[in-house]
Amino acid sequence: MFTERLKFYADTPRGEKNKQFCFKIGLLTLKDSIKRFIIKGFVLKSVYYEKIDTGTGELLENTRIPPETIQDIFNEVVKENTNPHSHYKK
């Protein structure tokens, strides 16, 4: 068996800079997990997907999510949460 997690460095809504976070991905997808933190006001600096073997603790996969992908997710969050009558075009 293995566990998946989102590991990232971010500035927090409380003003903390470059704080490290690890979030276990359970019911949410990787994309939804990233959206969750963007909506809460975190400024994501560097984001990684990790897969860990729960039996041995061995890191099976450690993949950096490209900044362009994070920007695309951010843009999607803005579009979903912007009033359709605002000046922001969907």
pLDDT for res 26: 86
Give the global pTM.
Answer: 0.82
d(CA 22, CA 4): 10
Q: In the structure, what pLDDT confidence band is assigned to residue 86 with cuts at 50, 70 and 90?
A: low
Number of domains within the chain: 1
pLDDT at 47 > cutoff 90: yes
In a domain, 87, yes or no: no
Residue 50 to residues 6, 17, 62, Cα–Cα distance (Å): 6, 22, 5
Residue 36 sits in which domain range? 2-80
- The reply to whether 89 falls in a domain is no
Q: Is 18 helix (H, G, I), strand (E, B) or coil?
A: coil
90, part of any domain = no
pLDDT of residue 35: 95
